[in-house]
């Protein structure tokens, strides 16, 4: 059962600092080849801790779109 919400990253604004990776309690975040952070949608529970530390304000918690 997936959470209702999850983290969405604005790749154009992300500075790839890795602050979000450090605080994620589910290890759902990683920095893709030094370019931007990416979320593993299966692991993310939408807690919002990453959004709270992101220095660039590039993470928003959004409603999960059911496929």
d(CA 2, CA 52): 21
| DSSP label at residue 4 | S
> Least separation, in Å, of the C-beta of 40 and another protein?
16
Residue list 48-67, contact with another protein (CB under 8 A): 52-58
**Run of H or E residues at 50:** helix 49-53
Residue list 2-41, contact with another protein (CB under 8 A): 13, 15-19, 21-22, 27, 31, 33-35
Q: Rule CB under 8 A: which residues touch another protein?
A: 13, 15-19, 21-22, 27, 31, 33-35, 52-58
């Amino acid at each position: 059962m997936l959470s209702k919400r999850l983290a969405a990253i604005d790749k154009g604004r992300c500075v790839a600092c890795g602050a979000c990776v450090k605080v994620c309690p589910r290890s759902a975040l990683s920095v893709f080849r030094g370019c931007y952070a990416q979320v593993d949608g299966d692991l993310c529970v939408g807690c919002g801790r990453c959004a709270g530390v992101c220095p660039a304000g590039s993470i928003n918690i959004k409603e999960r779109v059911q496929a």
